[in-house]
Amino acid sequence: MNRKVSVAPMMDCTDRHERFFLRLISKNTLLYTEMIVDEAINRGDKKKLLEFNINEKPVALQLGGSSPKLLAEATKVGEEFGYDEINLNLGCPSKKVEKNRFGACLMKEPNLVADCLSKMQSVTKLPVTIKTRIGYDDVEDYENLYNFISILKATGVKTFIIHARKAMLGKFTPKQNLNIPPLKYEYVYKLKKDFPDEEIVINGGITSVDEIKPHLEKTDGVMIGRAAYHTPYLLADIEREIFKNEDVPSRQDVIEKLIPYIKDELKKGTRLNQIMRHTLGLFHGQTGASYWKRYLSENMCVRDADVKKIDHIMDKIKYNNVDTRVGQSA
């Protein structure tokens, strides 16, 4: 599994439509699902929750939960659906998640997490990984992080994705937790030195190829989050400069390839806005970007969007001087 660059699991963002769209831009970036709760998988509509387009691969399933039994069952189902990796969420700081005893609050219970990971690994041949933070509340010393990773490593887990901020549980909103706690990249770099045989992936506040490159000199991989969602053509820069792949589509190519997918999804009952909302940032930094966002917002990102307008979207791009060239994401 190539985890040199990946896109983080993001609630209300990295659904199957977003992942299909991003895969049109980048062949090599590893993609993650939104966090899906183990109990929802075990008791809910598995097909609705887990089905994805084969063209999204490689794609990892992120699970939320704290029951070894339920997580193991969800892991088996994830493998059956064809995912390439199972990731356990140990980093989400929201009050709702904490109330249900999963996410970052589990950093307080390393032995329970170890039990969960052991059980998950026992039922699958897929790699089981974790995504966590460097600490929580007032527990932010490196020694605590080192001990936490040591306990999890003993279960056989080899890949650790570290958001280089601590989680403020019950004190900040999820948005505040993405911005207010200071980034401590040096903690993640030290983890790689202390665990040289493990795969250490760094996450948090990384927004460009120029920022990715120095992180790759000190860790095994970089996970990007909001930058990939709001400026998705960043993945084209990553494809060229990190993966050394020059076969990168233009923005126009991306939309042209997306249209057949949209039409197929509309036949299945998907609403147009459920797909097109993910493309708002495609032309970020380009001439005509504001027109693109305005046109989508008014015509395609509304609940009762007129599906016929999809047939004319390329004309809107051409006749309104929207810059579709292959180039920097800006």
Beta pairing, strands 221-224 & 159-167: unpaired
CATH of the domain at 134: 3.20.20.70
* Same domain as 260, residue 232: no
* Same domain as 275, residue 209: no
* Same domain as 233, residue 258: no
Q: What is the mean pLDDT of residues 195-203?
A: 98
Q: Tell me: the pLDDT tens digits for 163-179?
A: 999 988 877 777 787 77
State the pLDDT confidence band at 49, using cuts at 50, 70 and 90.
very high
73 domain-assigned: yes
92 part of the active site: yes
CATH of the domain at 300: 1.20.120.1460
| Tally of structural domains, the chain | 2
* Same domain as 236, residue 96: yes
Q: Tell me: the pLDDT tens digits for 91-143?
A: 988 777 767 788 999 999 999 999 999 999 999 999 999 999 999 999 999 99
pLDDT mean across residues, the chain = 92
Helices 142-153 + 185-194 axis angle, to 10: 40
Decide if 61 contacts 133 (C-beta within 8 A).
no
Q: Is 198 exposed, middle or buried (0-12, 13-18, 19+ CB in 10 A)?
A: middle
326 domain-assigned: no
Separation CA 217–CA 220 (nearest Å) = 8
Please tell me which residue in 92, 105, 116, 301 is annotated as part of the active site: 92
Decide if 37 contacts 100 (C-beta within 8 A).
yes
**Residue numbers of the domain that contains 28:** 5-240
Separation CA 131–CA 163 (nearest Å) = 7
In 113-250, DSSP assigns E strands to: 128-136, 159-167, 199-203, 221-224
Q: What is the mean pLDDT of residues 268-282?
A: 95
Domain boundary among 216, 240, 264: 240
Helices 251-267 + 16-25 axis angle, to 10: 150
Separation CA 270–CA 265 (nearest Å) = 5
47 to 43, 65, 68: CA distances (angstroms):
12, 19, 22
Separation CA 89–CA 96 (nearest Å) = 14
> What proportion of the chain, given as a percentage, has pLDDT over 70?
95
* Same domain as 114, residue 58: yes
* Same domain as 267, residue 179: no
3-state secondary structure of 261: helix
pLDDT at 276 over 70: yes
pLDDT at 199: 98
